[in-house]
């Protein structure tokens, strides 16, 4: 069951002090409407509750639009579109409230908040196909790197040698955690949002793991006079 917008906002206990949010709003001198949003959301009592409800309604309109747009473009099942949009709006509300102090007035407040809605809608849609699915952490995607149909025999032999060297290097120089993250994201197309949720970590932590893993692979292959190009390294998340 979805929590009321006011309860969601109250649950965001990491929101900065009211004075800090107001200081940022005054310093950047946003438009009057945006200033009203910030003051109301950073306040207390009925005024804040009303502002939270209005903000949630705005975010929900944005997430519904984005979910419907993306599902129509891909032909995906839209039977749960409204539920996904509601979940995205709830998470966007929490994000906006927790980052209220960062609003600088460079754009209208509603435009700034709208971006959170689009981001959360995208996250929900990327996670949806993986609900109830096991995340593949084994090397299922290696065969896709061999393009036998278009490559010349010489090029295919060269690519195969590099790919085999990469596989050996992954086993030799990466930790089990680095190996699983690299393979899941670059070989098996697991969205980084999904992997972060399943492993109880953050996108930033996984990006750091990928960076370290790729750096170690490049260093290991360089010793053998090989270069790790995009095809052998796998796709970016």
Residue 197 near residue 127, CB atoms below 8 Å: yes
The pLDDT value given to residue 100: 94
The whole-number mean pLDDT for each consecutive block of 10 residues of the chain, a chain of 237 residues, reads: 53 48 54 92 93 96 92 73 92 95 91 94 82 60 49 56 80 90 84 85 92 90 72 48
Global pTM reads 0.57
The pLDDT value given to residue 154: 53
Domains of the chain, start order: 5-130 (no CATH), 142-233 (1.10.10)
The pLDDT value given to residue 38: 94
């Amino acid at each position: 069951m979805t929590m009321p917008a006011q309860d969601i906002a109250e649950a965001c206990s990491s929101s900065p002090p009211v004075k800090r949010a107001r200081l940022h709003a005054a310093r950047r001198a946003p438009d009057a409407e945006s200033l009203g949003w910030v003051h109301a959301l950073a306040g207390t009592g009925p005024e804040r509750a009303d502002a939270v409800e209005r903000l949630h309604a705005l975010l929900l309109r944005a997430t519904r639009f984005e979910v419907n747009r993306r599902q129509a473009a891909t032909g995906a099942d839209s039977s749960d579109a409204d539920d996904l949009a509601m979940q995205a709006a709830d998470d966007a509300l929490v994000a906006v409230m927790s980052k209220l102090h960062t609003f600088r007035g460079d754009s209208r407040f509603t435009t700034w908040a709208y971006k959170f809605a689009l981001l959360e809608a995208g996250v929900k849609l990327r996670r949806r196909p993986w609900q109830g699915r096991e995340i593949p952490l084994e090397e299922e995607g290696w065969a896709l790197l061999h393009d036998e149909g278009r490559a010349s025999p010489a090029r295919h032999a060269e690519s195969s040698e590099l790919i085999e060297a990469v596989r050996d290097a992954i086993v030799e120089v990466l930790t089990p955690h680095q190996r699983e993250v690299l393979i899941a994201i670059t070989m098996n197309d697991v969205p980084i949002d999904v992997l972060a949720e399943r492993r109880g970590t953050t996108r930033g932590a996984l990006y750091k793991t990928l960076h370290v893993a790729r750096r170690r692979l490049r260093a290991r292959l360089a010793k053998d006079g090989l270069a790790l190009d995009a095809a052998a390294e796998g796709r970016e998340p």
